[in-house]
Amino acid sequence: MKILLIEDDLRLCDALTPVLRQAGYAVETAHDGIDGEFLGDELQPDLIILDLGLPGRPGLEVLRHWRANGNRIPVIVLTARDAWHERVDGLQAGADDYLGKPFHTQELLARISAVCRRQHGKPDNSLSWNGVTLNTDTQTATNPQGRNIELTGVEFRLLRYLLQHPEEVLSKTRLTGHLYEDSDQRDSNVIEVYINHLRQYFGKDFIETRRGQGYRLQAEKTR
Ligand code: CA
């Protein structure tokens, strides 16, 4: 899952990026409103963290632009502490949640999870498909036989993305973009290796290969 962090405070960016990566997210950053607005449309992130006080173009204008143009990606706005009007403006402009600065990173992580759950209509922190369940807090999975599977970071991110888009055919390029943030790490052939790991854990039919198109979870079995 990919997060775009738009924040001009470089120290805050440097502090947040490793925390978000540790939590299993791929992170892209922008440091002004103009780049941020462009990347919010271009990168198709799963979630955007948007500071409102930005050089170039204010965060509120960026958010209004996205919403006016049909960009519905979930947005958490970062506002100055005690600036209640900023929160109201942010929510009215189409933000999904807000966080006043300074904040604890744990609170940000909790809000990211909550916004994602709402987005995917899930009541708790688990995703499941065809007997496979993923707990997104503990980053562990259960296979159809009920056995617990420990996942590496990349395996976790890949499985989570597949489970969040169970009925879509996902190209290697798209999967790679959501697993890695550095373009030099982007070798789409590696995806095949991780897909095969997941098949070893969850059964070889769990993920179908669509020749020349990508991967898709096998259609859900009726119970
Ligand atoms: Ca700022």
In the reported structure, the alpha carbon of residue 34 is separated from the centroid of ligand 1 by a whole-number distance in angstroms of 14
pLDDT of residue 87: 86
CATH of domain 126-217: 1.10.10.10
In the reported structure, the alpha carbon of residue 215 is separated from the centroid of ligand 1 by a whole-number distance in angstroms of 40
Taking only the tens place, the pLDDT of each residue in 42-51 is: 998 999 999 9
In the reported structure, the alpha carbon of residue 50 is separated from the centroid of ligand 1 by a whole-number distance in angstroms of 9
Taking only the tens place, the pLDDT of each residue in 10-35 is: 999 999 999 999 998 999 999 999 99
CATH 1.10.10.10 residue ranges in the chain? 126-217
The residue-averaged pLDDT of 81-110 equals 89
Residue 153 has pLDDT above 70, yes or no: yes
Task: Quote the CATH superfamily of domain 2-120.
Answer: Response regulator (3.40.50.2300)
pLDDT of residue 122: 59
Residue 164 has pLDDT above 60, yes or no: yes
In the reported structure, the alpha carbon of residue 55 is separated from the centroid of ligand 1 by a whole-number distance in angstroms of 8
CATH 3.40.50.2300 residue ranges in the chain? 2-120
DSSP-assigned letters across all residues of the chain: -EEEEE-S-HHHHHHHHHHHHHTT-EEEEESSHHHHHHHHHHS--SEEEEESS-SSS-HHHHHHHHHHTT----EEEEEETT-HHHHHHHHHTT-SEEEEES--HHHHHHHHHHHHHHHTT-SSSEEEETTEEEETTTTEEE-TTS-EEE--HHHHHHHHHHHHSTTS-B-HHHHHHHH-SSGGG--THHHHHHHHHHHHHH-TTSEEEETTTEEEEPPPPP-
| pTM confidence score | 0.65
Taking only the tens place, the pLDDT of each residue in 136-146 is: 878 889 998 88
In the reported structure, the alpha carbon of residue 130 is separated from the centroid of ligand 1 by a whole-number distance in angstroms of 44
pLDDT of residue 111: 94
In the reported structure, the alpha carbon of residue 71 is separated from the centroid of ligand 1 by a whole-number distance in angstroms of 22
